[in-house]
Every structure is written in C-alpha cells, then in structure tokens.
C-alpha cells in the first residue's frame, strides 16, 4: 500500500482503545494517515488519539458500542464525507468454557461483534474504495480459526468466519487496487487474556513459543498489506504449528491439543470482553 498517496485519507480502526487496535492506530498514524478510532471507552480513546496526533495526523473519536445495531450508522454519520482508505476490523470479544455453560446473550453478542460487525462494516466502506480503485480492508482473526482450541467453540467459530470472509473478498478484489488481508496473530500480549481469566505467560507456553507484542502484529500486518499473501500469520512458530495441524488427521490434532490443555480449570466458566 502506498502510504504517501493517502495523507488526506482516513483509516477506521475498531476496538482502538487498547491492545492490537491501539497498536494499529499508532502504526497507521506514524505512516501519516488520519485515524478514526472506534470503541466504547471514551477516556481510553482520548489517550490513543493524543498519541496519534503526535505524528501530525488528524483524529476522530467514534464512541459507540458495536453490539448495538445503530452503531455503524453512528460511525458513518460521524465520519461524514471523509474518504476512508483503510478499514481495520479488530474489535472482538472472547468466551471460554463449555458451550452449554456460557450465557446465551453473551454468545449472541460474541457472534454479532466478531462476525456480523466486520461483515457489515466492510459492506459499508468497501464500495467507495472500489469506486476510487484504492483502499484496503484488514480482518483481525485468530489462530483459533485454524485449528482446534478446547472450550472456545463460539469464539473459534466466529474467527473462522472472519478469516473465510477475508480470504474470499481478497479473491473477489484480485483485479482491483483494493486489498483485503486477514491477519492471524499468535499468542499476543493484550488485555484480552487477563479479561478472559487466562493466565498465560512465556513460562506457561510450550518450548519455542513466545508471546508477541501487539506492536509486532500491527507492523507485520501493515508491512504485508497489498502484497501477495492475503492471510498473514504474525508468528513463525504458529505458522509451523498450523502447517503441521493441516497435515495431521483432525482426530489426532484434537487429541494432542486436548492433552496439552488438560491443565485448564473446567469448573469455572469465565467469559470476557476484549475491553473496548
């Protein structure tokens, strides 16, 4: 993507108040593009906006709860006639625990936020990009979309949807100058883990695994945008794991990962939002 041509254009980042969304906002601002920050927490968004403005760009705050159907209309109204050249679909929530034990409303919200919102946001902002024949859409997916993750059935399924949507859109857009990328982070240091009551650190991970920073995820994604690969896996170890899992019988993969995850406390049913 040619960032020098986009000084007057805008990037829209959902879930921008922390973690990977915040890192995307800062990395994009550093490249000289104005940023519209979308999240629920006004105080956090103002902090991120101030950090972005240090790079000499303009910012716009879209303080909405994306679980509400009117939120996307509100974002469009706030942006007005601004030209959006980049959409980063990052906002999401997670649920951990047996499927039958997770609150039904929470599951509905998870599917809506993780799957429906990225699809609708893309449907709204993609047509003007195609009219200009310039722009990009990024979907932030998860390794849970690629292989078996115990006790994360709804979350993994929702991320599989966004990965497939991104891959299919990339094919549809292949003859245009509008790009579509799905980024698959490995284990990343964000508030998501603590909010989901997942006690993960480098010491608790298998040999060879290391938690990566959200900054690395954003940089790897943006540096790869517009290049050949429409799916970008930001962790080399995860690339290897995904390749191995694709070659082994699914039954064997489930058995191996289930054994590795046997330390999970199955008596608790925590659910948690990516705090945006």
The Cα–Cα gap between 211 and 190 comes to: 10
Instruction: Starting at the earlier edge strand, list the strands of the sheet with 231-233.
Output: 59-63, 34-39, 10-14, 84-89, 135-140, 178-184, 231-233
CB atoms within 10 A of CB 160: 17
Which residues are within 8 A (CB) of 100 and not within 5 positions of it... i.e. 6 or more apart?
Answer: none
98 burial level (CB within 10 Å; 0-12, 13-18, 19+): exposed
Sequence-distant (6+) residues with CB within 8 A of 200 are 187, 193, 211
* Residues designated as active site: 155
Residues 6+ apart with CB under 8 A from 11: 25, 28, 33, 34, 35, 36, 84, 85, 86, 87, 88
Tell me how many degrees the CA angle 157-162-165 measures, rounded to the nearest 5.
120
Total number of residues shown for the chain: 276
Q: What is the DSSP string of 83-137?
A: -EEEEEE---EEE-S-GGGS-HHHHHHHHIIIIIHHHHHHHHHHHHHHHHT-EEE
């Amino acid at each position: 993507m040619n960032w020098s041509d986009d000084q007057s254009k805008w990037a829209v980042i959902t879930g921008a108040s922390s973690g990977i969304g915040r890192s995307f906002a800062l990395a994009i601002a550093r490249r000289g593009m104005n940023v519209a920050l979308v999240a629920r927490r006004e105080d956090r968004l103002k902090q991120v906006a101030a950090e972005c403005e240090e790079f000499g760009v303009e910012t716009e705050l879209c303080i909405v709860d994306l679980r509400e159907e009117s939120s996307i209309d509100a974002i469009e109204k706030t942006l007005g006639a601004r030209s959006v050249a980049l959409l980063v679909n990052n906002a999401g929530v997670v649920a951990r625990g047996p499927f039958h034990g997770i609150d039904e409303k929470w599951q509905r919200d998870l599917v809506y936020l993780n799957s429906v919102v990225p699809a609708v946001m893309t449907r709204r902002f993609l047509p003007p990009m195609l009219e200009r024949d310039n722009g990009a859409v990024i979907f932030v997916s998860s390794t849970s979309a690629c292989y078996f993750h115990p006790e994360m059935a709804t979350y993994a399924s929702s991320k599989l949807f966004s990965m497939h949507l991104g891959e299919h859109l990339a094919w549809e857009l292949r003859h245009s100058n509008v790009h579509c990328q799905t980024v698959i982070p490995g284990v990343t240091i964000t508030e998501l883990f603590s909010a989901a009551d997942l006690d993960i650190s480098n010491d608790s991970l298998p040999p060879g695994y290391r938690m990566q920073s959200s900054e690395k995820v954003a940089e790897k994604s943006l540096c790869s945008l517009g290049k050949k690969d429409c799916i970008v896996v930001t962790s080399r170890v995860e690339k290897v794991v995904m390749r191995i899992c694709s070659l082994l019988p699914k039954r064997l993969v489930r058995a191996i990962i289930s054994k590795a995850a046997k330390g999970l406390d199955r008596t608790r049913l925590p659910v948690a939002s990516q705090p945006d």
